Homo-oligomer: A and B are copies of this chain.
Amino acid sequence: MSTFSEKLKYSSELNKSLLCVGLDPDPSAAAISDMLQFNKAIINATKDIVCAYKPNLAFFDALGTDGLIVLKATIEHIRDVAPNVVVIGDAKRGDIASTNKVHAKAMFDFLGFDAITVNAYAGLQALAPFVEYADRGIFIWCRSSNNDIGVQDVKVVSGDGQISMFLWLANRISDWDRYGNVGIIAGATYPGDIALIRKICPEMPFLVPGVGAQEGELKRALLSGMDRFGRNIIMSSSRGVLYASSSRSDYSELARSKAIEIRNNINSILEDEGKNWGKT
């Protein structure tokens, strides 16, 4: 049984990539109306370019009756054509422990995700039913990518001083990661905050959503969030890749171009830092 960290390391090395493509199937933005065919085309076009896929469950829920069928079939397609790429269920699940136990069953036993995103509002002990799946990854939502973050940014009393809530949470998470399968979510838009969290959690995998096309932003987020080996970070881009074109004739081709562009941008930053991929 490989751990999530091992799987992630393997998929990253295999495709020489820290890029994750977020699967947010949106019929109002996609080039074709069949969302399963759309997902399959995106996956076929990017499967050798990414370390991870991240289906965002809200988008599947919003497809109505077919949503669950499309989600299941999308995950199966990834397993078929890209068996080494990790699949992260972006669901931000989180409730009290008795409900989290049932969520874990749905996410890990039924849907079979390698990792999921969770919300720690009910406290870390309530997340125990998730982390007990020791071979799966649990990404705790720490610092979101939006700017009115409210709860996360309240100043918390800490010793004689005060710190932002998301840093308080990062400290708690760092102390609590008993099975070594916990990771952190920190949005790409605040590289300074990513750096602060990385200091607290030097070894954890980071999931960084909201990676856009701009190279400067990408660079700041990557350098702030990667570990000392230039690894253990999943740079996730959704709409920029999925909806690179709205034409059915070239959307998958342009998704591939966009994914290659981001992957290559990441890799040239890694090279500049002397953290290039091994000759696998």
Q: Which residues of A contact B (CB under 8 A)?
A: 24, 26, 56, 58-59, 61-62, 64-65, 67-69, 72, 92-97, 99-100, 102-103, 105-107, 109-110, 119-126, 141, 144-146, 148-157, 162, 165, 168-169, 172
A165 engages B169 (CB within 8 Å): no
Number of copies: 2
B102 engages A58 (CB within 8 Å): yes
A56 engages B99 (CB within 8 Å): yes
| A/B interface sample: 15 pairs, CB < 8 A | A58-B95, A58-B102, A58-B103, A59-B102, A62-B105, A119-B119, A122-B149, A125-B146, A150-B169, A150-B172, A151-B151, A154-B168, A156-B156, A156-B157, A157-B162
A110 engages B162 (CB within 8 Å): no
CA distance A162 to B155 in the complex (A): 10
B102 engages A123 (CB within 8 Å): no
Known: A150-B120, A150-B172, A151-B169. A62 touches B92 (CB 8 A): no
Chain B: CB-nearest residue to A239:
B98
Residue from A95, A157, A165 having most chain B Cβ neighbours under 10 A: A95
Residue from A125, A152, A154 having most chain B Cβ neighbours under 10 A: A154
CA distance A148 to B128 in the complex (A): 12
A121 engages B119 (CB within 8 Å): yes
- A67: chain B residues at CB < 8 Å are 68, 106
Chain B: CB-nearest residue to A154:
B156
- A125: chain B residues at CB < 8 Å are 146, 148, 150
13 more A-B contacts (CB under 8 A) besides A58-B106, A150-B169, A156-B165? A58-B100, A59-B102, A61-B106, A62-B102, A62-B109, A92-B93, A92-B94, A121-B151, A122-B144, A122-B149, A122-B150, A122-B151, A123-B150
Instruction: Tell me the minimal C-beta distance from A193 to chain B in angstroms.
Output: 14
Known: A65-B72, A119-B94. A126 touches B155 (CB 8 A): no
- A102: chain B residues at CB < 8 Å are 24, 26, 56, 58-59, 61-62
- A93: chain B residues at CB < 8 Å are 58, 92
- A94: chain B residues at CB < 8 Å are 92, 119
- A123: chain B residues at CB < 8 Å are 144, 146, 148-153
